[in-house]
Amino acid sequence: MRLLLDTHTFLWWYKDDKKLGRKARSLIVDAVDVSVSVASAWEFSIKKALGKLDLVNDFEMAVEETGFSKLMIGFEHARVIATMMPYNNDPFDRMLVAQAMVENVTLVTADKKLSAYPVRILNAEK
């Protein structure tokens, strides 16, 4: 299984937060590849600058410590966003959905709104 972690899912994993469900945690451990998008780093940096998040000092270093892959944003990911219905207006979430679609991976998230998109979702809370 190949997984892409939503920003909050990655932070739950990194901080060993109990919000990350047992099933999701187990599937992350057993996955062939687990990725964290640069979109999550971007989202984290903005929220940290606004004082909304302060869980890690260096997001990239945190990703490297976990051994997860970094998923860069490509032009194809951006093109897919133009074809997506506006079920969710959060640009970071929309990029993660587009990346999951293009890369054919399962998105691990607790955001129920994202299940409206044609992408495989794993509930991070279960």
Which of 5, 28, 10, 16 is CA-nearest to residue 100?
5
How does residue 113 score in pLDDT terms, banded at 50, 70 and 90? Answer: very high
Predicted TM-score of the model (pTM): 0.94
For 14, residues 6+ apart whose C-beta sits below 8 A from its C-beta are 55, 56, 62, 65, 66
Q: What is the CATH number of domain 2-123?
A: 3.40.50.1010
Q: What pLDDT, on the 0 to 100 scale, is given for residue 93? A: 95
Q: Domain boundaries in the chain?
A: 2-123
Q: How far apart are CA 96 and CA 109, in angstroms?
A: 10
Q: How far apart are CA 37 and CA 8, in angstroms?
A: 12
**pLDDT tens digits, residue range 50-105?**
888 766 678 999 999 999 999 999 999 999 999 999 888 899 999 999 999 999 99
**pLDDT tens digits, residue range 23-49?**
999 999 999 999 999 999 999 989 888
